[in-house]
Amino acid sequence: MSLDVGLLIAGAKERGELEARVTTLIREIQKEGDVILFIDEVHTLVGTGTVGRGNKGSGLDIANILKPSLGRGELQCVASTTLDEYRTHFEVDKALARRFQPVLINEPSQEDAIRILLGLRQKYEAHHNCRFTPEAINAAVHLSARYIADRYLPDKAIDLIDEAGSRARIEAYRRKKEQQTFILSKTPDDYWQEIRTVQAMHEVVLASRLTNDRSSSSMDGSGEITIESSLPPASNDDEPNVVGPDDIAAVASLWSGIPVQQLTADERKFLVNLEEDLRKRVIGQDEAVSAISRAVKRSRVGLKDPDRPIAAMLFCGPTGVGKTELTKALARSYFGSESAMLRLDMSEYMERHTVSKLIGAPPGYVGYGDGGTLTESIRKQPFTVVLLDEIEKAHPDIFNILLQLFEDGHLTDSQGRRVSFKNALIVMTSNVGSAAIAKGGRPSIGFMIKDNENSSYAAIQSLIMEELKGYFRPELLNRIDEVVVFHPLEKAQLLRILNLMLQEVKERLISLGIGLEVSESIKDLICQQGYDKFYGARPLRRAVTQVIENPLSEAFLAGEYKPGDTAFIDLDASGNPVVSNWSDRSMHLSDTSTAS
């Protein structure tokens, strides 16, 4: 027998009325004899029925009324509560805790959860008018165990099949309404035309079968002719819908934000072309683009270690060569948008006490209970890119946290909650070894390395690894999946980067209704002013600001442009950039040709 505590308390207005109800309940249970009383959320009994503050008012609570009967064995009771509630309410009342035998119920294994769902399948099939395949049951357990980390089996698997069945029933109802709407939208002439078409097709099929049957009967000597209807059998609207593993995967993906469905043809094509798409935005870093593309492909296909992050990578190289830009490009291309990237500037974690900002402040400190910057963001959005920018500027104690993250794929925050990073891509950027890269891979002592591209890049890699070993501890470097060294940018690559920057300026101007055209001489001037092998592409951006954006802003403030015009930037006779209105220039040229 299950005890409804709310119904037991409801309507008890006068003092002693609740106690009388509980006493009557105990007497009835003793009278019946073989009754086991089940109390769900038993911690609600502690303090229920008292009047006053702090459970110290007049009257007895239900727990104290039950104690004598429980102690004398007159009442057989099974109760359930959570570990936190048991610690809060039961362990402080030693007499009450002594009358119950604690039994710890652990989370069932995946095999046990599958058997539980098979037992519940008929109830949910009858409720949603659908049929769950055995593959759907297995998918519900395995996908929930892998991708839904903050809940337990079998509860999360049951909710998966419940929502999948609900979605299937709603989809069937929507299709039925669309079919009814389509039927009602037809005119009588349309129906007559369809009837004539079906009749004609039916006659053709019957004639064909009759001819075939006659020929076959003449050959075997039998004169029997069988005519079967060629019309399809009528569909039954009450036929249950079939819920398969793809439907379960769609719900799991909706809950977690992680793409867990089977690879479609479009997504397969996108993954094949992912590397080429990233190269269009990140210039001159083919090794880095290939490395990060391989990690994403391994994860999506399902070949990565399920207990570790998608990848843990360290990008090394001089400033301004595209380390952060590559991470942004991946977030936009594969994870949906740049907002899917969690960027942590590690220069904000230079002091020892700032380590707690990642996982939350400990008890007794300001901010306890608010959660950590890193852990809370991953709990809300587990499928993301985590960028630890300029990792060498962080305090060394932060590296101790990263050890567990890289190896086991999870962190435990200050609240004791385990946060899973199994669906996150960890990228660290560092300027360690920039001096070696600036030297072109030439060691400070010893022989000069032959100056060709392959040997120089290999020398740069070896020098950077030596510097990393001197800066980071071996246990951290040993947990990094791949160390990617970025090339210094060459002058020939700046023109492609400049075209990308100019395209961004054009898009901003298009939002104002104004076009932009730039001459080749202006591009050469920007590349000349913005080239610096030691500082990468950032001087190029400053040159674009000085040569393009500053003259344009002055011209706009002077009122020389209106929506629909096109700005043209070129060099004048003295070699300075000048902005002209292309529409006025075109009109002037047309007037000159007419006069001639």
What are the tens digits of pLDDT across the range 57-116?
455 677 888 888 888 888 888 888 888 888 888 888 888 888 888 888 888 999 999 999
Mean of all residue pLDDT scores within the chain: 79
Check which CATH number belongs to the domain holding 57 and give it.
3.40.50.300
Q: Is 50 exceeded by the pLDDT of residue 223?
A: no
Q: Give mean pLDDT, residues 301-309.
A: 84
Both 376 and 456 in one domain: the answer is yes
Contacts for 357 with CB less than 8 Å, ≥ 6 apart: 348, 349, 372, 373
Question: E-strand spans in 381-445?
Answer: 384-389, 410-412, 418-420, 424-430
Alpha helices in 536-581 (DSSP H): 538-544, 550-557
Q: What is the pLDDT of residue 362?
A: 79
* Residue finishing a domain among 468, 485, 502: 485
Q: What is the pLDDT of residue 387?
A: 92
Closest residue by Cα to residue 540 from 490, 506, 486: 490
- Per-residue pLDDT band for 121 (boundaries 50, 70, 90) equals very high
Q: Give mean pLDDT, residues 400-406.
A: 88
What are the tens digits of pLDDT across the range 507-529?
888 888 888 888 888 888 888 88
Q: Is 80 exceeded by the pLDDT of residue 145?
A: yes
Alpha carbon distance 278, 262 (integer Å): 24
What are the tens digits of pLDDT across the range 155-181?
999 999 999 999 988 888 888 887 777
Q: Which residue has the tokens 């210094």?
A: 488
What are the tens digits of pLDDT across the range 8-49?
777 777 777 778 888 888 888 888 878 888 888 888 777 665
Both 537 and 584 in one domain: the answer is yes
Alpha carbon distance 154, 109 (integer Å): 9
Element (H, E) at 577: strand 577-581
- Per-residue pLDDT band for 443 (boundaries 50, 70, 90) equals very low
Number of structural domains (the chain) is: 4
Closest residue by Cα to residue 393 from 430, 426, 360: 430
Both 538 and 553 in one domain: the answer is yes
Residue type, 533: K
Both 299 and 377 in one domain: the answer is yes
Burial class (CB in 10 A: 0-12, 13-18, 19+), 239: exposed
Both 114 and 195 in one domain: the answer is yes
Alpha carbon distance 140, 134 (integer Å): 10
What are the tens digits of pLDDT across the range 349-380?
888 888 888 888 877 777 777 778 888 888 88
Both 473 and 587 in one domain: the answer is no
Both 171 and 271 in one domain: the answer is no
Structural domain boundaries, residue 321: 265-485
Q: Is 60 exceeded by the pLDDT of residue 572?
A: yes
Check which CATH number belongs to the domain holding 573 and give it.
1.10.8.60
In a 13 Å sphere around the CA of 9, the CA atoms on its Cβ side amount to 12
In a 13 Å sphere around the CA of 321, the CA atoms on its Cβ side amount to 27
